[in-house]
C-alpha cells in the first residue's frame, strides 16, 4: 500500500484538508497543536489504495518539542511515497522554511498553499510556477475550508504517486544539515511572493481592538462564554424534551406491553435497568451535540487563541501559561484529548501542572449530570446562571490548584503564540463536528454506560428477595459504608452509590440514578425534585465537578506523565478537594438558613 505523509505548521488548515481528502473525522481547530497524535485513513486515490497519515503540526523538523520529535521519529523510521506539505498562503515568508527543510530529505513532495482566498484579499500575489521550479515540487493553491482548488490539488497527488510508486526512506543525514536554509528562504520569498508595502486594516484588526482590549478583553470573554452556555441551554432543552417524550412513548406503547408476561426479574432488568438507564443518558445527546457545535464555532473562529493571549499574564502568575488555559477550555469537551494536547509544552513541570488542573474542567460527561439536576431542581430562568456558576467554579479551582502546586512543578518555558485571523466556520464543518462529536461520545461512553447500569441494577436488586435499592441490598450496604463520609455534604445513601460508579465514568451517574430509583425521564426528574432541595443538589454537583477523574483520564495521565506517583496525586488531590469544597458549601448554606 502507498503512503502519504501530511505535514505543515500549526494553524495552516492541514487537518481540514485531511478530512476533506479522506472523509475522516480528524479533530479540526483554529489553534496551534490540536493534532497531537498520528491520525491516518485509507482511501482510494487514482487507481491505488493509499494510507494518508496526518502528522502533528510542527514549525521545524529539527525542533525538540514532543510533537516535533514525534514527526522526526516518523520521518526517520517510516517509508513514504510522498510528502504533502500544507502552508498558509498569507504567511509564506515564515512557512516556506518547512518545505525547504523537507526538500533535503530527498523524497517526492507536493506543496499546497492553503487559504489562498485570504492571501488574495490581503493583496498578496504568489508566483506558484517559480515556487515549483525552486522547490522541485508541484505547488497548488487552494482553500481546504471551502473546497476551491481541491480537485486540482488532489490530481497533483495522484500524478506524483504514479511517478513514485515505491515507498522510500528519508535521507537521515539531511536531519543534520541546517546550514543554508535561511539564506535560501530569503531568496525564495523575494523571487516568488509579492506583498503590498502596507497590509490593509482587516476586520480581524478591528475586532481585536475591542476583544483584546486590556480592560474589556476578559469581561468580554466571559460574556461570550455565558452567551454560549445560554445558547446551548435554550436550543438544547426543547430537543432534549422531545427525545425524552419519544423514549417515554416507546416505553409505554411498545416496550411495557411486549414484556408484560415475562418473569418479574427479567422485566425489571430490561425496563428499569437497561432501558431507563440508557434512555435517560440518551435524552441528553441533543444538548451534548449542540454544546460541541457551539464550542466549535468559538474554537474554529480563532477566538481560543485570543483567550490564551488574554489569560497568559494571569496564568503565568500561577505557574502556567496561556496554552494551559486553552487546554482547560478544550477539556470542556473531554479531558483526554486536552491532556494529550499538553505535548506541545516542552517543560516537564509545565506539562504536569497542566495535566493536574485539566481534570477540573467541566467535561461533557459532567455536563450531562448537571443539566439533569438543573432541570429537575432549578427554575428555567435560573438554569443558565447555575450552569455558568459551575464553569466559574471550575476556573477558580484550577487557579487554586495551580497556586498550591506551582512550587512543585516549575517551568521557565516562554509562550510563543500565533493569533490567526477570525474565520467563520462553514455549515458543512459544523454538521460534521456535531456528527463526529455524537459518534465519539457514544463510542467512548456506551461501553461504560451499559456495564455501569447493569452493575448498578445488580447491586440494587441483589439479594433478589430484598426490596430494590433498600438497605438489605448490596447497594444499601455500600451506601452505609459511604454515609459517614458523604452525609456531611448533604448527600444521601442512594446518591452516594451513583458517585461511586462515577469513578469509572461520569456518564454512568445519570443512568445509575435511573436504575437506583427504578425510574427514568420525567418521573426521575420529579422524584429528585421532591427528595432534594437546591442546596443538596448544588453540593452534589460541586462534588461531581471536582472529584476524581474517570478511568480513561487517569489512564491518559499515567501514559503521558510516565509516573504512578503523579497519577496517584491526580487521583487523590481532586477527591480531597471535592470533599472540602462541598462540605464548606453545604454546611455554610445551612448555617445561613438555606
| Strand order, beta sheet including 48-54 | 39-45, 48-54, 2-8, 82-88, 109-114, 139-141
> In 393-453, which ranges are E strands?
none
Alpha-carbon distance values, 552 to 334, 359, 445 (Å): 10, 11, 10
410: number of Cβ within 10 Å: 12
CB 399 within 8 A of CB 336: no
The structure's pTM equals 0.67
CB 522 within 8 A of CB 475: no
CB 58 within 8 A of CB 369: no
CB 449 within 8 A of CB 274: no
CB 42 within 8 A of CB 1: yes
CB 225 within 8 A of CB 391: yes
Peptide bond preceding 261 in cis form (omega within 30 of 0): no
> In 166-318, which ranges are E strands?
193-194
Alpha-carbon distance values, 148 to 134, 315, 421, 428 (Å): 25, 40, 19, 14
* φ, ψ at 331 (rounded to 5°): -65, -15
Output the nine-digit C-alpha cell for 207.
475586532
560: number of Cβ within 10 Å: 18
Which element (helix H / strand E) includes 151?
Answer: helix 150-163
d(CA 492, CA 496): 6
What pLDDT is stored for residue 31 in this prediction? 46
Residues contacting 402, CB < 8 A, separation 6+: 315, 318, 319, 320, 353, 357
Angle at 266 between CA 368 and CA 516, to 5 degrees: 35
d(CA 393, CA 399): 10
d(CA 59, CA 497): 49
Q: Which residue has the cell 500544507?
A: 86
The DSSP symbol for 387 reads: H
Alpha-carbon distance values, 61 to 55, 111, 173 (Å): 12, 16, 13
Cα-Cα-Cα-Cα dihedral sign, residues 291, 294, 299, 304: negative
d(CA 544, CA 551): 15
d(CA 329, CA 336): 12
Per 3-state DSSP, the chain is made up of helix, strand and coil in percentages (nearest 5) of 65, 5, 30
Helix, coil or strand: residue 393 = helix
Query: What's the number of CA atoms in the CB half-sphere (13 Å) around residue 592?
Result: 8
Q: What is the 3-state secondary structure (H, E, C) of 449-494?
A: HHHHHHHHHHHHHCCCCCCCCCCCCHHHHHHHHHHHHHHHHCCCHH
Which element (helix H / strand E) includes 8?
Answer: strand 2-8
Which element (helix H / strand E) includes 578?
Answer: helix 564-591
Question: Which of the residues in the chain have pLDDT under 50?
Answer: 26, 28, 31, 34
> In 142-263, which ranges are E strands?
193-194
Residue ranges covered by each domain of the chain: 2-194, 219-412+425-591
d(CA 355, CA 342): 7
d(CA 293, CA 564): 36
CATH number of the domain at 2-194, please? 3.40.50.300
Cα-Cα-Cα-Cα dihedral sign, residues 352, 358, 514, 246: negative
Q: Which residue has the cell 494529550?
A: 340
d(CA 441, CA 439): 5
Amino acid at each position: 500500500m502507498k503512503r502519504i505523509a501530511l505535514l505543515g505548521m500549526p494553524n495552516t488548515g492541514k487537518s481540514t484538508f485531511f478530512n476533506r481528502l479522506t472523509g475522516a473525522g480528524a479533530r479540526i481547530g483554529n489553534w496551534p497543536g490540536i493534532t497531537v497524535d498520528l491520525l491516518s485513513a485509507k482511501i482510494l486515490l487514482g487507481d491505488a489504495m493509499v494510507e494518508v497519515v496526518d502528522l502533528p503540526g510542527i514549525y521545524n523538523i529539527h525542533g525538540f518539542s514532543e510533537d516535533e520529535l514525534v514527526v522526526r521519529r516518523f520521518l526517520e523510521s517510516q517509508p513514504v511515497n510522498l510528502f504533502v506539505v500544507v502552508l498558509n498562503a498569507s504567511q509564506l515568508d515564515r512557512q516556506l522554511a518547512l518545505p525547504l527543510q523537507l526538500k533535503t530529505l530527498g523524497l517526492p513532495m507536493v506543496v499546497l498553499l492553503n487559504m489562498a482566498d485570504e492571501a488574495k484579499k490581503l493583496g498578496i500575489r504568489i508566483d506558484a510556477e517559480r515556487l515549483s521550479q525552486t522547490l522541485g515540487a508541484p505547488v497548488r493553491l487552494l482553500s481546504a475550508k471551502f473546497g476551491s482548488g481541491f480537485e486540482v490539488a488532489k490530481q497533483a497527488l495522484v500524478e506524483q504517486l504514479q511517478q513514485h510508486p515505491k515507498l522510500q526512506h528519508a535521507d537521515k543525514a539531511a536531519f543534520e544539515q541546517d546550514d543554508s536554509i535561511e539564506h535560501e528562504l530569503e531568496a525564495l520569498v523575494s523571487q516568488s511572493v509579492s506583498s503590498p508595502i502596507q497590509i490593509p486594516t482587516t476586520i480581524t484588526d478591528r475586532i481585536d481592538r475591542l476583544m483584546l482590549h486590556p480592560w474589556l478583553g476578559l469581561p468580554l470573554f466571559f460574556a461570550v462564554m455565558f452567551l454560549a452556555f445560554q445558547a446551548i441551554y435554550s436550543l438544547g432543552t426543547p430537543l432534549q424534551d422531545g427525545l425524552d417524550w419519544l423514549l417515554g412513548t416507546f416505553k409505554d406503547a411498545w416496550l411495557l406491553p411486549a414484556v408484560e408476561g415475562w418473569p418479574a426479574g427479567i422485566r425489571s432488568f430490561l425496563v428499569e435497568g437497561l432501558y431507563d438507564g440508557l434512555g435517560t443518558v440518551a435524552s441528553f445527546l441533543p444538548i451534548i451535540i449542540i454544546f460541541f457545535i457551539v464550542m466549535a464555532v468559538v474554537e474554529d473562529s480563532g477566538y481560543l487563541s485570543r483567550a490564551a493571549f488574554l489569560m497568559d499574564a494571569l496564568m503565568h502568575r500561577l505557574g502556567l501559561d496561556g496554552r494551559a488555559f486553552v487546554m482547560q477550555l478544550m477539556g470542556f469537551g473531554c479531558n483526554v484529548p486536552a491532556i494529550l494536547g499538553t505535548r506541545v509544552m516542552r517543560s516537564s513541570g509545565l506539562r504536569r501542572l497542566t495535566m493536574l488542573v485539566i481534570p477540573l474542567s467541566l467535561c461533557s460527561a459532567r455536563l450531562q449530570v448537571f443539566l439533569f439536576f438543573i432541570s429537575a431542581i432549578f427554575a428555567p430562568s435560573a438554569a443558565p446562571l447555575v450552569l455558568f456558576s459551575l464553569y466559574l467554579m471550575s476556573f477558580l479551582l484550577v487557579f487554586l490548584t495551580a497556586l498550591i502546586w506551582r512550587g512543585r512543578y516549575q517551568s521557565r518555558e516562554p509562550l510563543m503564540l500565533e493569533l490567526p485571523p477570525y474565520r467563520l466556520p462553514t455549515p458543512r464543518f459544523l454538521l460534521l463536528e456535531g456528527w463526529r462529536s455524537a459518534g465519539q461520545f457514544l463510542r467512548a461512553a456506551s461501553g461504560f454506560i451499559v456495564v455501569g447500569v447493569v452493575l448498578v441494577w445488580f447491586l440494587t436488586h441483589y439479594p433478589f428477595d430484598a426490596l430494590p435499592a433498600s438497605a438489605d441490598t448490596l447497594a444499601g450496604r455500600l451506601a452505609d459504608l459511604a454515609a459517614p463520609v458523604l452525609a456531611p455534604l448533604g448527600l444521601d445513601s442512594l446518591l452516594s452509590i451513583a458517585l461511586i460508579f462515577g469513578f469509572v465514568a461520569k456518564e454512568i451517574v445519570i443512568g445509575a440514578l435511573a436504575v437506583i430509583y427504578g425510574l427514568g425521564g420525567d418521573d426521575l426528574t420529579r422524584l429528585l425534585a421532591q427528595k432534594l432541595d437546591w442546596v443538596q443538589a448544588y453540593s452534589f454537583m460541586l462534588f461531581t465537578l471536582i472529584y476524581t477523574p474517570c478511568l480513561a483520564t487517569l489512564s491518559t495521565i499515567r501514559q503521558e506523565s510516565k509516573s504512578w506517583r503523579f497519577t496517584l496525586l491526580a487521583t487523590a488531590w481532586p477527591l480531597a478537594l471535592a470533599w472540602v469544597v462541598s462540605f464548606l458549601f453545604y454546611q455554610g448554606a445551612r448555617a445561613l438558613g438555606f
